[in-house]
């Protein structure tokens, strides 16, 4: 079986693998964090998402469980232990970079990859490290950084989905 074939049912995945989808509702904090990342993917790179939260339970007492941000087809790279919102955003970036070979998201001003981190008011933000560095936007609000024309097109698309 091709583990990486597109859209494998979760039940089709390698029975040897203990990695599975996180039960919806069991980690609302991490789900909210990934939702924010998915909003940003939908705004800037809809083909890549939405990503899903997966985890690999540890079978050893002193080894913590690992959490992963997986692409829609189940591929992921690396895992985070004891993740918080910024950790999930970072895991999503890791997966995008390692699996899709893309730097994401990109600062529109400096054309360089930005990184998740804590902003001035404790929100998780995308941070651009060029020069003295600057906050691009809160994670989940990447749509606001798009040129007006692209923002309008996005809103039209969202309305189309709802209607
Ligand atoms: Zn920048």
Cα 106 to ligand 1 centre (Å): 8
15 vs 26, more confident = 26
**Under a CB-based contact definition with an 8 Å cutoff, are residues 121 and 112 in contact?**
no
Report whether 105 contacts 97 (CB < 8 A): no
Instruction: State the pLDDT at residue 10.
Output: 52
**Ligand 1 centroid from CA 148, angstroms:** 18
Task: Report pLDDT for 4.
Answer: 45
Give the per-residue pLDDT at 73. 92
Angle at 39 between CA 68 and CA 147, to 5 degrees: 135
* Among candidate residues 22, 6, 98, the one with its CA nearest the CA of residue 54: 22
- pLDDT band, very low/low/confident/very high, at 133 (cuts 50, 70, 90): very high
Q: For the chain, what is the mean pLDDT?
A: 87
Query: How many Å lie between the centroid of ligand 1 and the Cα of residue 41?
Result: 18
How far is residue 140's CA from residue 138's CA, in Å, rounded to a whole number?
6
CA of 3 to the centre of ligand 1 (A): 37
């Amino acid at each position: 079986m091709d583990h990486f074939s597109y859209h494998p049912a979760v039940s089709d995945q390698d029975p040897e693998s203990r990695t599975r989808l996180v039960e919806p509702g069991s980690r609302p904090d991490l789900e909210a964090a990934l939702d924010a990342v998915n909003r940003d993917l939908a705004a800037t790179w809809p083909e890549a998402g939405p990503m899903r939260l997966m985890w690999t339970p540890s079978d050893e007492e002193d080894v913590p469980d690992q959490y992963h941000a997986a692409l829609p087809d189940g591929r992921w790279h690396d895992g985070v232990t004891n993740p918080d919102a910024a950790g999930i955003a970072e895991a999503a970036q890791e997966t995008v970079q390692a699996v899709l070979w893309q730097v994401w998201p990109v600062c529109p001003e400096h054309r360089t990859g930005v990184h998740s981190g804590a902003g001035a008011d404790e929100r998780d933000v995308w941070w651009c490290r060029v020069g003295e560095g600057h906050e691009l936007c809160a994670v989940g609000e990447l749509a606001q950084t798009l040129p007006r024309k692209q923002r309008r097109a996005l809103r039209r698309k969202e309305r189309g989905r709802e209607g």
